[in-house]
């Protein structure tokens, strides 16, 4: 976090006004890193496949979308307040109180095999004062209530704040924008099942307990894809996507030692999911308990035909239309088999911000130089590095060297993100670029004026090589793996 702030990746938002709990702004290097992550995902997900289309749907959608998707009724967290310290807490994050442990000991004395855990639901545990606040330890907590996580707003200048006809939400997932466009994309692009629709964009959730830097925020960005398949094919395709996604994170340079699969147990599944496997990253390596080191980076869900059916006017229950507001039927007619069905949906859904956090954490390394000084090196994958090359003049008081360095930088600029820097001694300039993950530094020196060659220094090995200025662009492109 301190490197992120110091070097312009991520700043606490609204800092000059005391901040805004868990909101973050991406600085000059952070925005490049986010863009590179999104571009890498888009290329892998959309451009390199034949069965994919992309869209960019609206953040504010017709309220009916959230009614029929189930979010109005079920997208909520169980919440309690601590009467002692006034903390607002998610009920599933409460701890067992002293009273609970006393009752448990007593129960075990009477019936050695009787464990109380899991016998009562959360409200019953609260009634008995068997839960406590993780912040102050008090068992004086309010009753359980449900808190919908969608941000509300009103549409139109004349709308009153509580006018239900003007009520709208900021989307809590990008997925619904894809489902409601399923027919538009399928017909305009003449797609046959199986195919997918991908989208990257902001989502908003009024999280009860945001925190851990950019891990959980109220405004965040998602990279989601909905893959439509024939019912019956869903389980096989789901497993394929689980494996593809795991491999994608490895191509970003993330160590597989810090990635794992997590099969969501039935009680954790979202209302629409038949099976969900998360990819976890070791976001909390400092925690002693190994199990608590991991948390979700991405979820890959089998959403069945829940969403397309829910948004269709057609399906009926006991002769009555389930969806009275939709004007379309989102079922699919399979020309080959002459069957009509609601496609099943496999959904890989990742967070941009969590991917950025994982990439930063994984790339962070420290190295000691010949003088015994500790240096930070951000070993970012070249595709993700905010700056690909820094051009540094060895003597900034020599106009010919400075001019040549500027010319070299200008030459590289259209092909890759290049910067010029002469604001310190060469050792300091190298160290700065190592710290922000720049794969190569190019040094222009006195000799360059005679032999028209420059020195290329590698971030990871600190090895140096002399390269002709005229061949530099091709040389760097090859070493960075940038396609022409």
Binding site for ligand GAP (CB under 6 A): 173, 175, 205, 207, 216-217, 220, 222, 224, 296-299, 347, 349-351, 353-354
Q: Which is nearer to ligand GAP, 173 or 445 (CB)?
A: 173
Which residues lie below 8 Å from residue 303, measured CB to CB, with a gap of 6+? 226, 272, 273, 274, 344, 345, 346, 347
CB distance 387 to 436 below 8 Å: yes
Q: Could you tell me which residues are beta bridge partners of residue 443?
A: 392, 455
In the complex, the smallest distance separating the C-beta of residue 50 from ligand GAP, rounded to whole angstroms, is: 24
3-state secondary structure of 401: helix
Nearer of residues 71 and 381 to ligand GAP, judged by Cβ: 71
What is the Cα 403 distance to its own chain's centre? 42
Closer Cβ to ligand GAP, 44 or 220, answer by number: 220
CB closer to ligand GAP out of 352 and 378: 352
State which residue, 38 or 417, has the beta carbon closest to ligand GAP: 38
Give whichever of 4 and 443 is closer to ligand GAP, judged by the CB atom.
4
**N- to C-terminal Cα separation, the chain:** 35
The residue behind tokens 């489902």 is 179
d(C-alpha 480, C-alpha 312), whole Å: 48
Tell me how far, at minimum, the Cβ of 220 lies from ligand GAP, in Å.
Answer: 4
The three-state DSSP-derived secondary structure of 413-469 is: CCCCCEEECCCCCHHHHHHHHHHCCCCEEEEECHHHHHHCEEEEEECCCCCEEEEEH
Per-residue exposure over 145-154, b if at least 16 CB sit within 10 Å of its own CB, e if not:
eeebbbbeeb
CA distance 372 to 432: 17
Q: How far is the CB of 269 from ligand GAP (least distance, A)?
A: 11
Q: What are phi and psi of 333, to 5 degrees?
A: -100, 120
Q: Which is nearer to ligand GAP, 216 or 275 (CB)?
A: 216
Cα angle 85, 90, 96 (rounded to 5 degrees) comes to 75
In angstroms, give the least distance from the CB of 213 to ligand GAP. 10
Nearest to 238 by CA among 155, 299, 147: 299
Which residue has the CB atom at the shortest distance from ligand GAP?
351
Q: Write down the least CB distance from residue 268 to ligand GAP, Å.
A: 11
Q: Give me the least distance between CB of 90 and ligand GAP, in Å please.
A: 12
| H-type alpha helices, 111-143 | 122-127
Query: Is 195 or 281 the residue whose CB approaches ligand GAP more closely?
Result: 281
The least CB distance from residue 461 to ligand GAP, in Å, is 33
Burial of 446 (0-12, 13-18, 19+ CB in 10 A): exposed
Report the nearest approach of ligand GAP to the CB of residue 365 (Å). Answer: 24
């Amino acid at each position: 976090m301190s490197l992120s702030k110091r070097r312009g990746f991520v700043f606490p938002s609204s800092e000059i006004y005391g901040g805004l709990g868990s909101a973050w702004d991406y600085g000059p290097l952070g925005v490049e890193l986010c863009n590179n992550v999104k571009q890498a995902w888009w290329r892998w997900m959309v451009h390199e496949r034949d069965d994919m289309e992309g869209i960019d749907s609206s953040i504010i959608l017709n309220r009916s979308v959230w009614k029929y998707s189930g979010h109005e009724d079920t997208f909520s967290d169980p919440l309690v307040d601590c009467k002692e310290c006034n903390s607002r807490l998610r009920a599933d994050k409460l701890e067992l109180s002293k009273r609970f442990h006393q009752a448990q000991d007593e129960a075990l004395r009477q019936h050695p095999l009787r464990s109380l855990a899991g016998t009562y639901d959360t409200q019953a545990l609260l009634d008995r004062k068997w839960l406590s606040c993780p912040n102050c330890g008090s068992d004086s907590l309010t009753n359980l209530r449900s808190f919908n996580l969608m941000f509300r707003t009103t549409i139109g200048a004349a709308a009153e704040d509580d006018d239900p006809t003007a009520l709208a939400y900021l989307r809590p997932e990008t997925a619904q924008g894809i489902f409601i466009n399923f027919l538009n994309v399928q017909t305009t692009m003449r797609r046959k099942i199986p195919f997918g629709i991908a989208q990257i964009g902001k989502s908003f959730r009024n999280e009860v307990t945001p925190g851990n830097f950019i891990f959980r925020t109220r405004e965040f960005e998602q990279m989601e894809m909905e893959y439509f398949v024939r019912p019956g094919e869903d389980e096989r395709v789901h497993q394929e996507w689980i494996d593809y996604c795991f491999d994608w994170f490895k191509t970003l340079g993330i160590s597989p030692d810090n990635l794992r699969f997590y099969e969501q147990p039935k009680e954790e599944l979202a209302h629409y999911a038949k099976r969900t496997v998360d990819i976890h990253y070791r976001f909390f390596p400092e925690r002693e308990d190994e199990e608590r080191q991991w948390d979700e980076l991405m979820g890959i869900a089998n959403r069945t035909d829940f969403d397309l059916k829910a948004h269709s006017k057609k399906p009926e229950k006991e002769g009555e239309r389930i969806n009275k507001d939709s004007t379309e039927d989102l079922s699919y007619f399979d020309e080959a088999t002459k069957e009509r069905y609601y496609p099943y949906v496999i959904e890989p859904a990742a967070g941009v911000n969590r991917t950025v956090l994982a990439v930063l954490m994984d790339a962070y390394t420290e190295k000691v130089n010949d003088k015994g000084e500790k240096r930070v090196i951000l070993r970012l994958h070249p595709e993700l590095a905010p700056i690909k090359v820094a051009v540094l003049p060895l003597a900034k008081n020599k106009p010919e060297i400075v001019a040549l360095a500027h010319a070299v930088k200008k030459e590289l600029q259209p092909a890759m993100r290049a910067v010029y820097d002469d604001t310190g001694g060469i050792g300091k300039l190298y160290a700065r670029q190592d710290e922000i993950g720049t794969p190569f530094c190019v040094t222009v020196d006195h000799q360059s004026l005679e032999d028209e060659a420059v020195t290329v220094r590698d971030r990871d090995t600190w090895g140096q090589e002399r390269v002709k200025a005229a061949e530099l662009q091709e040389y760097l492109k090859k070493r960075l793996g940038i396609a022409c």
